[in-house]
Amino acid sequence: MYSDPPAPQPLQPGETPPASSTDPFGAGGQASSWRFNPEYQKLVDLWQQVRPMLDGLTGSLDKAYQMARSRDVWDAPVAERYVQDMTEWRNRLVMYRQAVLTAISDQAADTPRWIPASSAAPHAYS
């Protein structure tokens, strides 16, 4: 069995930006205002799009796998080879799911949730 990596967290109702402080690298050391990072929001949206698709693929393949294992559906020597193939497909799908969700989660961990309102959105590895 597998467990999904942590999902990027969307902006919660009532969530406030970090306390405003003076930015020593900003113009004149002025206090900055914050906004939710649009690049982080893209990762939240991507997670919310991809996760149901992966769940659907997993559910479809699991249903077919259970039917193929049932002797009520198919009782022939070739059935065992078919079940072995489906087992391999399931393992590959689990690895694919883990890779996709981990990539999104890792990118979200490297992308700040809040950015100064006057700056361009920082993005990990850009």
Model pTM?
0.77
What is the reported pLDDT for 57?
A: 96
What is the reported pLDDT for 29?
A: 56
Query: Are the C-beta atoms of 46 and 85 separated by less than 8 Å?
Result: no
Return the domain boundaries, the chain: 58-113
What is the reported pLDDT for 85?
A: 92
Residue 48 CB partners (closer than 8 Å, separation 6+): 10
With a cut of 50, which residues of the chain have pLDDT below it? none
Residue type, 24: P
pLDDT tens digits, 9-39: 999 998 888 876 555 555 555 557 889 999 9
